[in-house]
Amino acid sequence: MTRINSTQSASSQLDRRSLQAVWHPCTQMKQHETYPLVPIVRGKGVWLYDDAGNRYLDAISSWWVNLFGHSNPAINAAIRDQLEKIEHVMLAGFTHEPVVALSERLKQITPGSLGHCFYASDGASAIEIALKMSFHYWQLCGKPQKNSFISLQNDYHGETLGALSVTDVAIFKQTYAPLLRPCTHVPTPDWRYAETGESAEAYALRAADALDHYLAKNHAHTAAFILEPLVQGAAGMGMHHPVYLQRARTLCDQYQVHLILDEIAVGFGRTGTLFACNQADIAPDILCLSKGLSGGYLPLSVTMTTDTIYQAFYDDNVARAFLHSHSHTGNALACRAALASLDIFAQDNIIETNKTKATYLNRIAAKLATHGRVRNFRNCGMIWAFEVDTALQDFATACFQAGLQHQLLLRPLGKTVYFMPPYVIEEPEMDLLIDGTLHILDTLSA
């Protein structure tokens, strides 16, 4: 399939060179014998531009990371300013203004009292840190038998071995199963699994009962319950009622199990509140953030925890310390990008502005929601998703390719199409997104 203005110029050159030298993520490379790569040369706002002059509306925020558009002037300026001061310095034995300021700000804006920030570069690393920290905490408290983890059915927490152990997405996990630690996945509150006529809330409470039963029997060897609050992203944007989080918090307290919230994808306004757990009015023992943390600009993740956990490690004995590190921990440029992104939230009243945008998108998406092939149309904050009733074998690839023809970057998860646009999206761009998607559905199902 060719793109709109595909020329024989630089485009195919870069495609060919990339295929020879770059092993692309989450990709069967042989498929690129059929589908060309899209060489992006610049971005502005919601738009990505390729070297043939085509543009694509980044409807999935470049794998859920971008918040305020590509080449955002304020974030660009902050990084440039920081570049003239210090780009990076190791964080053991040293510190710097951006990492201190960011940690202070994160403590202020996150729920509860998550006063201690441990940094890494990727989401999966933040998960590894959370798991190690929880296990180590119980060991330090004389409960080494609390050494297993539970997560939600269909949860996704990243793809390094520890994170993959608590992930429950077969396509990523199956092959590596012999390398992974066993993990129990408790029933998901995702309302797509509810009985006909059962409300999202009633279903979430039923799932919480299953959690209760599990913990009643197994709490003595369970260190932590980790979950994706409100929206299970890789599962196909499965959404659940916040009452589940309230029950999970209560049960974790009751059974002395850490509650780890993975807000790597849902944090920073994605679900309509700054953090998903705000909607349940709860705070976790450990919070993992990444993706939108730096506005999607630079690899940065953080694992935040309470004073109780922190104090267990605080000792004269070096061996009781949390001896974990990554080379780029607390990178100054990434922290400055994060601070600039948080400034935008405050200055532009983003949470409120997004509500207006979401209302508009829901209004124009009515045609989509009632489309004959669309099932389970749903929305949570700045995330929209629906399943497509189609017999097409590889719907995801066909939809991605058709999207490019309509100036859209869509990347369905199986038969689930979702929108997760940058917050700078404007009404005409939303119109284009909905009209294009309707066209694609009609074309692909014709």
> Interface residues with ligand PLP (CB under 6 A)?
122-124, 127, 156-158, 228, 233, 262, 264-265, 290-291
CB 442 within 8 A of CB 374: no
Q: Residue 56: what residue type?
A: Y
Taking the C-alpha atoms of residue 411 and residue 159, their distance in angstroms, rounded to an integer, is 19
247: closest CA among 210, 276, 274, 217?
A: 210
229: closest CA among 219, 221, 238?
A: 238
Residue the block writes with tokens 């059929």? 34
In the complex, least distance from residue 304 CB atom to ligand PLP, rounded to whole angstroms: 15
The residue among 45 and 299 lying less far from ligand PLP, judged by its C-beta, is 299
In the complex, least distance from residue 199 CB atom to ligand PLP, rounded to whole angstroms: 25
Ramachandran class of 229: left when φ > 0, alpha when ψ lies in -120 to 50, beta otherwise: beta
The tokens for 138 are 């119980």
In the complex, least distance from residue 264 CB atom to ligand PLP, rounded to whole angstroms: 4
The residue among 51 and 128 lying less far from ligand PLP, judged by its C-beta, is 128
The residue among 301 and 401 lying less far from ligand PLP, judged by its C-beta, is 301
The residue among 129 and 211 lying less far from ligand PLP, judged by its C-beta, is 129
Listed in sequence order, the residues at least 6 apart from 197 whose beta carbon sits closer than 8 Å to its beta carbon are none
The tokens for 154 are 């269909």
Produce one character per residue of 4-20: b if its CB has 16 or more CB atoms within 10 Å, e if not: eeeeeeebbebbeeeee
The tokens for 169 are 């997405």
The residue among 36 and 421 lying less far from ligand PLP, judged by its C-beta, is 421
Q: How many CA atoms lie within 13 A of 247 on its CB side?
A: 20
Long-range contact pairs involving 367-376 (C-beta distance under 8 Å, separation at least 24): 367/434, 367/438, 368/434, 368/437, 368/438, 368/441, 371/438, 371/441, 373/441, 373/445, 374/441, 376/192
**How far is residue 268 CA from its own chain's centroid?**
10
**What is residue 177's DSSP assignment?**
G
In the complex, least distance from residue 65 CB atom to ligand PLP, rounded to whole angstroms: 8
Q: How many CA atoms lie within 13 A of 249 on its CB side?
A: 18
Using Cβ positions, the residue closest to ligand PLP within the complex turns out to be 123
Taking the C-alpha atoms of residue 28 and residue 26, their distance in angstroms, rounded to an integer, is 7
The residue among 14 and 127 lying less far from ligand PLP, judged by its C-beta, is 127
224: closest CA among 293, 165, 173, 311?
A: 165
